[in-house]
Structure 1
Amino acid sequence: MKLIDLDGLQALLVALRAQGYDTIGPVRRDGVIVYERIDTVADLPAGWTDRQAPGSYRLERRDDAAVFGYAVGPHSWKRYLFPPKQTLFSVRREADGGLAFEPAPLDAPKRAFIGVRACELAAIGVQDRVFAGGEHVDAAYAARREAVLLVAVNCAVAADTCFCAAMDTGPAVRGGHDLALTELIDGAGQRFLVEAGSAAGRALLVSLPGCPASADDIAAARAQTERNAAAQTRSMDAVATPALLLRNLEHPRWDEVAERCLSCANCTLACPTCFCSTNQEVTDLAGAAHRERVWDSCFNVDFTHLGHGSVRGSVKSRYRQWLTHKLATWHDQFGQSGCVGCGRCITWCPVGIDLTEEVAAIAASDGGSKS
């Protein structure tokens, strides 16, 4: 482990760009923290934090200059690995009347993600399993994923909507990263404890200016993460929830939540693991057409449209499908939960629906076996 300061963090950005990486990290824009290109540490949201609650997100000033002193914003890293719109192929009519098809080139630039939280590492792992872990690999996703270097950050603060500790995905970074940072601000000043998680990370760490981390710094970093976990107020029994939901498919709570749900798809768009998509054709006046893959959502009534109409025509059925897939049948498909406890679906729901509250309400009146 090594201890660096802000100059050392800047040296990391410089080193990454020298290796050909676009550096993507948190920036403050339009009243939120999003992930965009950063060139220097001055682009980071120093001195800002987020206040989140069901249906509410606000940025506020901190009383220090922490650059990672927030939880998570509306964007996830999904938009870079599984982009909202991707051209699959193009077709044009040639002079002889025939059609010429051209696959879209793979777009996989080298990117370094700066400030990836533990829950987001877990979410990337989930999408890795979906897109690249089975028999049928999504070549575009796999290429983009291979080109990414991950600089993680151990969380120092927990939003009101966080529950990663309950899902066993955070707040401490435990793998899947190249480098992991812990930002410490106390009487000794502002500094970053850095540890490597891969060969690429170790090579970078050696090149950074700094000094060996002391036992006190390591203890301070560990204590900070433990305080974060203890500060989380939302919870869920991740082990018991799948069976709970599947034996309560006709529970009256589904009707109650449907009366509030707008079926707007905000939760699935903000979610770092949701992967539903559809294809659409786009034409131009020159006679060319393009097939695009775009994000879709199980909350859209046309998502399950067949010849006779939508399979899930009611809001109740669509909400139930989303929650039971995310927390239960995802295990059957991919061997893990589809939820990482980031809380984005709670924060960005316009009516403040809280999936942990819905699960708790069903559990409170569950008449089935608890085994």
Structure 2
Amino acid sequence: MSAPRVSARVSGIEESATIRIANLARKLRAEGKDVISLSLGEPDFDTPAHIKRAAWESLQQGETHYTQSAGIPELRNAIAKKLREENGLDVVPEQVIVTPGAKYAIFEVACTLLEEGDEVVLIGPAWVSYEACIRFSGARTTWVNTSLENGFVPEPEQIAEQVGSSTRLLILNSPCNPTGAVYPKDVLRAVADLACDHDFFVLSDEIYEKIIYGGEHVSIGAFEGMQERTITVNGFSKAYAMTGWRLGYAAAPEWIIRGMLKIQSHSVSHPTSFVQRAGVAALSGDQSEVEHMRAQFERRRDVLIEGLWRLGMECPKPEGAFYVFAHVGRWGTGDEVAERLLNEALVALTPGTAFGSAYRDYVRISYAASIEQLQEALKRMEAVL
């Protein structure tokens, strides 16, 4: 038998840091240790009852077989309607694909649009899986690194400096994971102008659009000239507390959707049949639980930020999502601080280098946890730091 080896394509990709740390926290819990995990981007709320009921009713009706690879018509219709009414996008169902999670939609986009030698502009710090998808496609990443001083919002001039003749795609994530930054409309307008002038595509990851505190969500695909060069990605995991349901979607020009569909039909086939019925219920049903969760996240943000500032951590107050990106350089690198807090305080955080090599002195802290857990975590962190 030949020596065990994986392909160069796979060996060049790192394991997801957020999932690795979350698994380590679970292992410590299984050993009986009282770990508070503030590392994973997962709402701790239950999925709303009417959404679960829709999945149960679908099961009872025998909807346990194959569906269309792009998703059931009812869900594609509901998504197109949502994007037209809420996001101002001129979308028809044929421009929508339903995927097993928003992450898989991003993977499909990368494999559909990118070739060897293409460049993708990432705004750092950036979610851990973007670069992995880019590498898998054979393309390379160009970073626009934002700063704490600017609230982790990019300057248009910074972005323009990184756009070149090989730029094929720019990835936007607003509200942003890991910083919670919400990009102002003028920044999005500048990106749209660059995309039109230099003829590249924009992937707009809008998974946190429902979790904004005081501002408004703007979809770049609604700007003039962006209809044919924007791929809007979203899903159900964050707004509806449906992480384990694995349900996402993308809206794009039909030729891009057809390319994504080839990948989907030859890999996962389609999202789970009865989960798609739950997606219809999520979009068409009562939205009060979405607002309730958003309000709870806002309260938690305020408790956590006040505690971190009291500890002396530098971090802007997030305007969206449920993360704080904090500078911990006075105590060591992010990796050192995260390791120390896990071992000595039993508090799990994610080192900043998971989101870009420029952020070695940062950690990401998720406040998708109860106020009681956040207060206890702050107490433990204070004792150690």
TM-score (norm 2): 0.28
1 or 2, which has the higher helix percentage? Answer: 2
Larger radius of gyration: 1
TM-score (norm 1): 0.29
